[in-house]
Structure 1
Amino acid sequence: MAALIAPRIALIHATPLAVQPVAVAFDELWPQANRMNLLDDSLSQDRAAAGELNAAMTQRFVDLALYARGCGARGILFTCSAFGPAIEAAAQAVGVPTLKPNEAMFDEALARCAQLGGSRTVGLLTTFAPTAQSLREEFVQLAVDRGASVELEVACADGAMEALSAGDAAGHDRLVLEHAHRLSRCDLLLLGQFSMASTRAAVEAAVGRPVLTSPHSAVRAMRTALRAD
């Protein structure tokens, strides 16, 4: 009976690499949620090929969100980081809580920096180069809106996502750890792709800094938004 009354959450993926990490986060933090997975793995390919987010791609996000709402989703979580403006358009179209992949993690990061006080530096590590600039802009704008004194440093572990896609998880993790050391002077590290979440403990141990992951932050935020128990 609990499964019938649990809120349906649509998880919309642009790469299959994001499916398992968010499933793990739900299992750990909100197992009662009724999850619905939608995957269009051509989105990441088309975004990389186009070099920019265009109107046709944005409409595809709106269409996916409307489909999810039509299936009874009470909340929508997008799991790919390169499509911020398209996700914002989808959120306006559907009128249900809709999260970009990293916005909850950014919220948590700024809250932690506020608790620490003073001027702080946050490190953001990605494995998909097209996300870097959009995520930087998103974080900086959020910090400005909050009046936060936070500096952001960004690094991309080039080749890591390709290694993971090819089944080389060890190679992916090695590249993530190598590039994480470049951000070791930061007060807090953020892992910008859902597919990086499994490296959290290793990165935290390697750099000696707290590390946040996007799927866990997103699940916590969605649960709060829907006031689920």
Structure 2
Amino acid sequence: MRRIACLHTIDSNVDVFEAALTKTGFRDVALSHAVRPDLLAGAERAGHLTPEIRAETAALLRGLCAEADAVLLTCSTLGPAVEEAGRDAPVPVMRVDAALAAEAVAGGGRIAVLCAVETTLEPTRRLFEAAARGTGAEIAMHLVPGAWAALKAGDRDLYLATIADAVRDARRAGAARVALAQASMASAGERLAPEERPLDSPRSGLAAAVAAMGGV
């Protein structure tokens, strides 16, 4: 049994990733979960990912390597910490949205990237724009108004409904593909018709982790 350790910043992402694993069909893969909401909360208070939070996140990711075959960071705001953590890690350390970015830009065109948390905008923009170089893709970032406030207030139904509406709006505005930048947004796709559904990071990130472990 291959093991993927996930570092989350919200509790609900545990169920999101377990559901995504079931959908992928990888039967010889098990997930473990560490949840650190204080890391995202600290970045939100500061308005950005501080060097201190980045270093703490990197240390946590390296620690998770001890009992895993791959490590996934599922928080987009903390994503840049993966670069630091991966330098001396004994197993692959990956940000879950990296595979999403590669998938989204592969066909070129206008890509709408939806975020719920303001602190996610800049690291996500850098990730997607780097992935888009050479593909001809044009990245348009969008913060979904009111979504994160709804989730923090405990109204997950409103959170997902707001995101689903934003996906429809992006489609109507001419986006070739829509990507949900944060893992917590993934279930919004279930509220849309199959032809409207956006790309999400749990599915693509898990598939990338399995590939990095040397199997499919």
Task: Flag whether TM exceeds 0.5 (same fold).
Answer: yes
Residue 210 of structure 1 and its aligned partner are, at CA, apart by 5.0
The answer to whether 1:59 aligns with 2:55 is yes
Amino acid at match of 1:131: T
Q: Pick from 181, 192, 195 the counterpart of residue 184 of structure 2.
A: 195
Distance 1:77 1:103, change over 3 A: same
Correspondences of 1:111-126 after superposition (within 5 Å):
111=106, 113=107, 120-126=109-115
The answer to whether 1:12 aligns with 2:23 is no
Moved more, 20-29 or 176-185: 176-185
The answer to whether 1:99 aligns with 2:94 is yes
CA contact (8 A) 2:8 2:36 kept: yes
Q: Pick from 17, 33, 48 the counterpart of residue 22 of structure 1.
A: 17
CA contact (8 A) 2:61 2:73 kept: no
Other-structure match for 1:108: 103
> Residues 178-217 of structure 1: CA distance to partner in whole angstroms, max 9, x if unpaired?
3223311101110111111111133455xx5452110000
SS in 1 for 2:135: coil
CA contact (8 A) 1:126 1:155 kept: yes
Matched positions, count = 213
> Residues 115-148 of structure 1: CA distance to partner in whole angstroms, max 9, x if unpaired?
xxxx51111111111111211111111211xx11
Distance (whole Å) between structure 2 residues aligned to residue 87 and residue 124 of structure 1: 21
Distance 1:154 1:137, change over 3 A: same
Q: Note the aligned Cα RMSD (angstroms).
A: 1.7
Q: TM-score, normalised by structure 1?
A: 0.86
| Contiguous gaps of at least 5 residues in structure 2 | none
CA contact (8 A) 1:129 1:158 kept: no
Q: TM-score, normalised by structure 2?
A: 0.91
CA contact (8 A) 1:8 1:34 kept: yes
SS in 1 for 2:77: coil
Instruction: Give percent identity, aligned residues only.
Output: 25
Other-structure match for 2:147: 160
| Contiguous gaps of at least 5 residues in structure 1 | 1-5, 114-118
